[in-house]
């Protein structure tokens, strides 16, 4: 694991999320109740969840509306035991860093 700067502090609006590529991984960076990072590839059909609706600790995949807890990566509907990878995030003066 290595801390990597993935975005500027203003690149993701409060209450939103964005997709960033880090060390060959697609990461969804969520700015809601602090910063959160999780794998952006949906367990359903491998589309990106990164531009999904963010609300109440949940990010909704915009493709077929599966829901994930963005703090734990846990899929909240359809299948039990599915969890996307999550990463530690730190906000620094020069941007947002993820431990990937």
Per CB under 6 A, does 79 bind ligand FES? no
Answer for the pair 70, 32: CB distance below 8 angstroms, yes or no. yes
Q: Which of 44, 53, 71, 83 binds ligand FES (CB under 6 A)?
A: 44
How far apart are the C-alpha atoms of 100 and 47, rounded to whole Å?
20
Q: Which of 9, 45, 85, 92 binds ligand FES (CB under 6 A)?
A: 45
Least distance to ligand FES from the beta carbon of 68, Å?
9
Sign of CA dihedral 57, 92, 47, 54: positive
Place of tokens 């899929």: 75
Per CB under 6 A, does 20 bind ligand FES? no
Bridge-based pairing of strands 58-60 and 53-55 is antiparallel
Cβ neighbours around 5 below 10 Å, total:
14
Q: Which is nearer to ligand FES, 4 or 47 (CB)?
A: 47
Least distance to ligand FES from the beta carbon of 28, Å?
12
Least distance to ligand FES from the beta carbon of 41, Å?
9
């Amino acid at each position: 694991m290595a801390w990597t700067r993935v975005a500027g502090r203003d690149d993701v609006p409060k209450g939103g999320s964005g997709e960033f590529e880090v060390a060959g991984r697609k990461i969804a960076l969520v700015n809601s109740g602090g910063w959160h990072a999780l794998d952006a590839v949906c367990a359903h059909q491998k589309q990106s969840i990164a531009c999904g609706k963010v609300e109440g600790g949940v990010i909704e995949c915009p493709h077929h509306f599966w829901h994930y807890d963005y703090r734990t990566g846990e899929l909240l509907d359809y299948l039990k035991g599915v969890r996307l990878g999550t990463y530690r995030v730190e906000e620094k003066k020069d941007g947002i860093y993820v431990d990937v």
